[in-house]
Amino acid sequence: MSPSQSSSPQPDPIAGPPADGDDAAPAALTARAPHVPADRLVAEMVPPPRFQGARFDTYIPDPKQPSQSEAVQVLSDFAESIDAGRAGSGKRRWFAKKPAAPKGPRGVYLDGGYGVGKTHLLASLWHATPAPAEQKAFGTFVELTNLVGALGFQQTVRTLGEHKLLCIDEFELDDPGDTVLVSTLLGKLVDAGVALAATSNTLPGKLGEGRFAAADFLREIQGLSAQFRPLRIDGEDYRHRGLPDAPAPYDDETVTRTAYRTPGASLDDFPSLLEHLSKVHPSRYGAMCDGIEAVCLTDVQAVPDQSTALRLVVLADRLYDREVPVLTSGKAFDELFSEEMLRGGYRKKYFRAISRLTALARDAGPLVAGNSR
């Protein structure tokens, strides 16, 4: 090694500022490994930022799909009925006489393909339900299982049992152990008078766009099936309805320059980010994105294995929830997952990730245009 090589470390090729500017260095997701306390997990069980403004009257039904308009009406009525299932308005006394079971289903299951607006409708239900925010909970299946892991089963029952509504987005039917755990939890919550609403993915071997999961969902939750009214929502992925194809990836220089000139942006090379995700629990991916206004990634490559792919799906969901644009170089998002993955048991998750990342790539276009001068 020459003296010049040993005297100072060489900079990372993507870490330096653009030659024509002195902008501040962007953040790096690979430098973030946040600790998320259990009480934050509970407090953050609200609709994600992308859906904070979601309301039934902001959902735009496809005129070709009458089931979408019907879903809005059914869910509006369901929101108004939720108070009828609770005895009193104060805290539940756990050793008091259990209230009579309400008549009819205490839950609704939104049954449809990806991109038909199920999460928008679920968030609209949360907002429309006449109860304080602290008496309503909204989270993905993964976030719910993380909560059980953080609080323990009995404490989770006590905590969520004080709520009037629990909304579960993307109920996971491909993990039998977690499905049984959450199904048992939901049974306890129904006994406590909590109203339920859920969307789900489908079981391995029964997947694909245009296929629906109601029968699988009701079978897997076993004794709870009578508590759910399936509500089918037909339609195509709204993220591609009348929109142009995803933009092609940019070159490394463009991505780097944009990262340095965009306040709040992060900049990482994709392989390093995938490696970092393996060291951070998926429940922390949301906190890892706190304060990030744009994610810039160089050298995007095909994901090497299924475990890595599933972690990337979670990150894509958290970025989409927060409406964080994603700017990339390397491969296009439709090349992330192998043909084998897209034919396998988790393919619905992968198609959802491609769909959501494509939408975020479109959102990143103005960043490039605004920093090109």
* 226-252 pLDDT tens trace: 778 888 888 776 655 555 567 899 999
pLDDT > 60? residue 197: yes
Provide the β-strand partners of residue 269.
Answer: 298
Predicted pLDDT of residue 8: 35
Q: Per-residue pLDDT tens for 183-192? A: 889 989 999 9
Q: How confident is the model at residue 91 (pLDDT cuts 50, 70, 90)?
A: very low
**Residue 286 phi, psi dihedral angles, 5° rounding:** -60, -50
Q: Per residue, what are the HEC states of 216-262? A: HHHHHCHHHHHHEEEEECCCCCHHHCCCCCCCCCECHHHHHHHHHHC
Q: From 123, 174, 159, select the one nearest 313 (Cα to Cα).
A: 174
What is the value of pTM for the model shown?
Answer: 0.73
**Would you call 357 exposed, middle or buried from its count of C-beta atoms within 10 A (0-12, 13-18, 19+)?**
buried
Contact yes or no for 261/267 (Cβ under 8 A): no
